[in-house]
């Protein structure tokens, strides 16, 4: 097998260990001899970027993933069960939104590849094939901080809803509080959520984060302006305050007491 790099990643992070878990804004600079391969790329909002992770260990089959605190045998995972760069063939795979294209340079919303990483392929992300909303992943580790948790929840909500808005940000803040203050940064094996019927953007945010759906009975609609989350037989009701739904930045930065009041638990 012969691999040829078709381009290179450009971003602000130079060392792989310094890369945030969700990546950073980045560019892919395609080499001139592959320019024809970009014909009609504009048909796709997102692409898969495959990269060669130079320097990664290739003789390791079990690792302790990022976010797992147990360094012993109970914390080990096979490399095929995680996204670790250590693996027999160190190929990285990340889906990214194409922000714009200028000639041979693709600007992407985020990649988790360090500056200078060789790119070995680009493929379109097909919503009709690649989206598996019913997929299930048991938690591997826990977020390193509350801010890391918020960033992850925001990315999940945006991937489902498609744009920032105040109620999307509010859904992020509700689940952020629930996971950090009630679950100790953990995540339930199964979500059961009740949402206010008159707030569709909030519903989208919570569906994107929890993967709860009405068809499976894990997402229920109710008339009160609150979000109810069930866990181990207890109901945690987040009564929503009157907030400006149009400004997501304000909602993300506001004190929790200005956004909701928690009842029950």
- Give the mean pLDDT of 217-239: 95
Instruction: Provide the b/e sequence for 192-217 (b: ≥16 CB within 10 Å).
Output: bbbbbeebebbbbbbbbbbbbeeeee
Per-residue pLDDT tens over the stretch 9-45? 999 999 988 999 899 999 999 999 999 999 999 999 9
Q: Are 24 and 13 in contact (CB under 8 A)?
A: yes
Residue 71 has pLDDT above 90, yes or no: no
Per-residue pLDDT tens over the stretch 84-103? 999 999 999 999 999 999 99
Query: Does the global pTM surpass 0.85?
Result: yes
Output Rg (C-alpha) for the chain, integer angstroms.
20
Q: Are 175 and 206 in contact (CB under 8 A)?
A: yes
- Give the mean pLDDT of 199-215: 96
pLDDT at 243: 63
CA-to-CA separations, 103 to 1, 20, 28, 108, in angstroms, rounded: 30, 28, 11, 14
pLDDT at 137: 85
- Give the mean pLDDT of 245-249: 81
Can you tell me the distance from the alpha carbon of 125 to that of 80, in angstroms, rounded to the nearest whole number?
22
pLDDT band of residue 125 (cuts 50, 70, 90) is: very high
Identical fold between 7-130 and 146-264: no
Candidate CATH numbers 2.40.30.70, 1.10.3260.10, 2.40.30.20, 3.40.50.970; the one for domain 7-130: 2.40.30.70
Candidate CATH numbers 3.30.1330.130, 3.30.1280.10, 3.30.70.3420, 3.50.50.60; the one for domain 146-264: 3.30.1330.130
Can you tell me the distance from the alpha carbon of 211 to that of 241, in angstroms, rounded to the nearest whole number?
25
- The residues spanned by each domain of the chain are 7-130, 146-264
């Amino acid at each position: 097998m012969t691999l040829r790099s078709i381009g290179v990643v450009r971003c602000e992070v130079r060392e792989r260990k310094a890369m945030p878990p969700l990546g950073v804004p980045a560019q892919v600079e395609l080499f001139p001899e592959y320019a024809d391969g970009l014909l009609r790329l504009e048909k796709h909002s997102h692409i898969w970027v495959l990269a060669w992770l130079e320097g990664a260990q290739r003789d390791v089959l079990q690792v302790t993933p990022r976010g797992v605190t147990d360094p012993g045998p109970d914390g080990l995972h096979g490399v095929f069960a995680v996204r670790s760069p250590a693996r027999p063939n160190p190929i990285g795979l990340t889906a990214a939104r194409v922000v714009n294209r200028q000639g041979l340079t693709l600007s992407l919303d985020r990649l988790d590849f360090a500056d200078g990483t060789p790119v070995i392929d680009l493929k379109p992300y097909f919503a009709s094939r690649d989206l598996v909303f019913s997929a299930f992943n048991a938690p591997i580790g826990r977020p390193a901080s509350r801010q890391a948790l918020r960033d992850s929840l925001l990315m999940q909500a945006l991937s489902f809803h498609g744009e920032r808005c105040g109620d999307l940000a509010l859904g992020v803040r509700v689940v952020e509080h629930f996971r950090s203050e009630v679950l100790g940064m953990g995540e339930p094996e199964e979500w059961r959520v009740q949402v206010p019927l008159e707030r569709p953007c909030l519903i989208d945010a919570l569906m994107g984060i929890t993967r709860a759906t009405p068809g499976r009975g894990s997402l229920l609609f109710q008339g009160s302006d609150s979000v109810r989350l069930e866990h181990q037989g207890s109901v945690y009701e987040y009564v929503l305050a009157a907030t400006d739904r149009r400004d997501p930045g304000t909602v993300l930065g506001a004190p929790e007491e200005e956004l909701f009041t928690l009842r029950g638990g």
